[in-house]
Amino acid sequence: MDWMRYGVVALSVTIGACTTPPKSADKSPKPEPTQNQTQGSDANSQGADYSTGAAEALNPGVTNLPGNRLVYFDYDVSQLSSSARQILDQHSAYLQANPNIRVRIEGHADERGSREYNLALGEQRALAIQRYLTISGVTPSRLLTFSYGEEKPINFGHGASAWQQNRRAELVY
């Protein structure tokens, strides 16, 4: 009987270690933008740092990447807007002209909703971009999707402006 008691205790400890901890109230402020950041023309186009060096590390010889690598989404939506499709058309043309280049599509969500829901929403956003690029002629094996959910915000604020910036997908070459 003692071995069963130890097994139950070990199982309880293992299950307890796997539970999701509560959200931390400690949110660090967003660092100041750098000159390498890409700025788009519409209100949703807040940029992230995409240096050519990082792109070349993933894909040696990468040059002339499309400037805007952020696609924004409305609240609780994974459908692509017309401005998102325009951005993706540029990426599609670039990828078709450079058949050896691969891209990782990272889906993100704002902090509202459960962790699980936001991971699923981030995945749906990344998959929507993957489908669009595939339909546009990019080979699916060159497109890797990943979801961060709410875990990697661009803006650490807790209002509408911050949430709008965090509802995005990033194309990482």
pLDDT of residue 60: 54
Beta carbons of 135 and 43 less than 8 angstroms apart: no
- Identity of residue 59: N
CA separation for the pair 147, 169 (Å, rounded): 9
Decide: helix, strand or coil at residue 103: strand
Sign of the torsion angle spanned by Cα atoms 116, 118, 121, 123 = negative
CA separation for the pair 155, 4 (Å, rounded): 49
pLDDT tens track, the chain, 173 positions: 444 443 433 434 333 444 333 343 333 333 333 333 333 333 333 334 433 344 444 555 566 888 899 999 999 999 999 999 999 999 999 999 999 999 999 999 999 999 999 999 999 999 999 999 999 999 999 999 999 999 999 999 999 999 999 999 999 99
Beta carbons of 80 and 132 less than 8 angstroms apart: yes
Domains and CATH numbers, the chain: 69-173 (3.30.1330.60)
Beta carbons of 143 and 105 less than 8 angstroms apart: yes
